[in-house]
Amino acid sequence: MNSSKNYILNVRNLVKYFPIKKGLLSRTAGYVKAVDDISFSVKEGEILGLVGESGCGKTTVGRSILRLIEPTSGEILFDDKDIIKLKGDKLRKQRKEMQIIFQDPFSSLNPRMTIGNIVKEPYEIHGVFKKKERMDRARDILMTVGINPNMLNRYPHEFSGGQRQRIGIARALALNPKLIIADEPVSALDVSIQAQIINLLVELQKKFSLTYIFIAHDLAVVKHVSDRIVVMYLGKIAEIADGSELYRNPMHPYTQALLSAIPIPDPLVKKQRIILEGDVPTPIDPPSGCRFHLRCRYRQEICTKETPVLEEKSPSHYVACHIVKNEKYNN
């Protein structure tokens, strides 16, 4: 995964440890190893899905890229600039290029601001457009996401969950960013509303040639929208592949189990389900070697000792597993 012109973002050896403070003097008693040395790239104009279960570090990755949390170490290259080194004005300018959409449409909008003011606030922070123009711009964007612009002066509580998520999307689009990180954008919504928001996100991506990092725990949703998918487990990347390749030919035993656990809305489809034993271990004291080995069906001696590296096992299909050989995988 070399950095070449068509990669918009390169994440290299990203690490984020959260210190655990204990006692009166809050001495550091240990670390939550939320993200532990991961590297991946995002191509311009693609939708990259980031999946995994709670605690796998997917949200921490998203927030680190935006510098909403400070990574412990690593490089995040956006247009060949290392975001981690940026400060002050330069960081603020950089942030115009990257925006986020949050999961919870109820807590991510300020209840005391009208939706018009919410959507035009980014212009004020970044000093874009003349004062008079800003509200007109907000009106345009709200229309683009399907909110009646006559509601500009209403407050968030007057809208349903789906509509609020649209307002959150409008705010993310306001500065015309290149990259949008969507962190579980549909998981708080009912099925019928979920489909509306997914369609809207895909439509906007085409219209404004956006690049998305789409973070979600629901692999069916991620597969529907993504070009490529990164599967994470306990702070590490387990597998990266094109969406359909990942579904047809999952190589990592974790990906296989994850796929087989997803219920399919058709009672006539009978499939072999791999039930994983136990829970995800704690990221405070992750297992040695491969982090998945405690729950893995194919575990061997080496898995308990050596951490597998992410390798290209077939074209554009990267897997971190000792068991998978460098050839088409056969069960």
Partner 1 sequence: MEKDIILEVKGLKTFFYTEQGIVKAVDDVSFSIERGQTVGIVGESGCGKSVTSLSILRLVNWPPGKIAGGEIIYNNRNLLSLKENEMREIRGNDISMIFQEPMTSLNPVFTIGSQIMEAIVLHQKVSRKEARDRAVELLRLVSIPDPDKRIDEYPHNLSGGMRQRVMIAMALSTNPSILIADEPTTALDVTIQAQILDLIKEVQTKYNLTIILITHDLSIIAETADKVIVMYAGKIIEESDVKSIFRNPAHPYTKGLLSSIPRIDDESVRGSLFTIKGLVPDPLDLPPGCYFEPRCISKKPECRQRMPEFTNIENNHRVRCLLYEQ
Give the footprint of partner 1 on this chain (CB under 8 A). Answer: 53-54, 160, 162, 190-196, 198-199, 202, 217-221, 223-225, 243-244, 247, 257-269, 273, 275-276, 279-280
Least CB distance from residue 20 to partner 1, whole Å?
16
Least CB distance from residue 123 to partner 1, whole Å?
30
Nearer of residues 66 and 180 to partner 1, judged by Cβ: 180
Contact 47, 203 (CB under 8 A): no
- What does the alpha-carbon distance between residue 287 and residue 23 come to, in Å, rounded to a whole number? 26
Distance, first Cα to last Cα, the chain? 27
Q: Please, is 210 exposed, middle or buried when counting C-beta atoms within 10 Å of its C-beta (0-12, 13-18, 19+)?
A: buried
Least CB distance from residue 277 to partner 1, whole Å?
8
Least CB distance from residue 167 to partner 1, whole Å?
15
Please name the amino acid found at residue 291: R
Least CB distance from residue 214 to partner 1, whole Å?
11
- What does the alpha-carbon distance between residue 216 and residue 59 come to, in Å, rounded to a whole number? 9
Task: Give the sign of the dihedral formed by CA 278, CA 283, CA 284, CA 289.
Answer: positive
- What does the alpha-carbon distance between residue 53 and residue 51 come to, in Å, rounded to a whole number? 7
Nearer of residues 243 and 289 to partner 1, judged by Cβ: 243
- Residues 6+ away with beta carbon under 8 Å from 288: 304, 305
Is residue 274 helix, strand or coil?
coil
Nearer of residues 58 and 120 to partner 1, judged by Cβ: 58
Nearest to 40 by CA among 27, 51, 28, 53: 51
Least CB distance from residue 191 to partner 1, whole Å?
6
Nearer of residues 126 and 224 to partner 1, judged by Cβ: 224
Least CB distance from residue 180 to partner 1, whole Å?
16
How far, CA to CA in Å, does 81 sit from each of 10, 11, 76, 122, 151? 10, 11, 8, 23, 40
- What does the alpha-carbon distance between residue 42 and residue 235 come to, in Å, rounded to a whole number? 19
Least CB distance from residue 264 to partner 1, whole Å?
6
Look at the block and give the residue holding tokens 């997917």: 58
Nearer of residues 66 and 193 to partner 1, judged by Cβ: 193
Nearer of residues 180 and 258 to partner 1, judged by Cβ: 258
Nearer of residues 20 and 262 to partner 1, judged by Cβ: 262
Nearer of residues 47 and 65 to partner 1, judged by Cβ: 47
Least CB distance from residue 252 to partner 1, whole Å?
13
- What does the alpha-carbon distance between residue 112 and residue 109 come to, in Å, rounded to a whole number? 9
Q: Give the rounded distance of the alpha carbon of 221 from its chain centre.
A: 13
Nearer of residues 223 and 313 to partner 1, judged by Cβ: 223
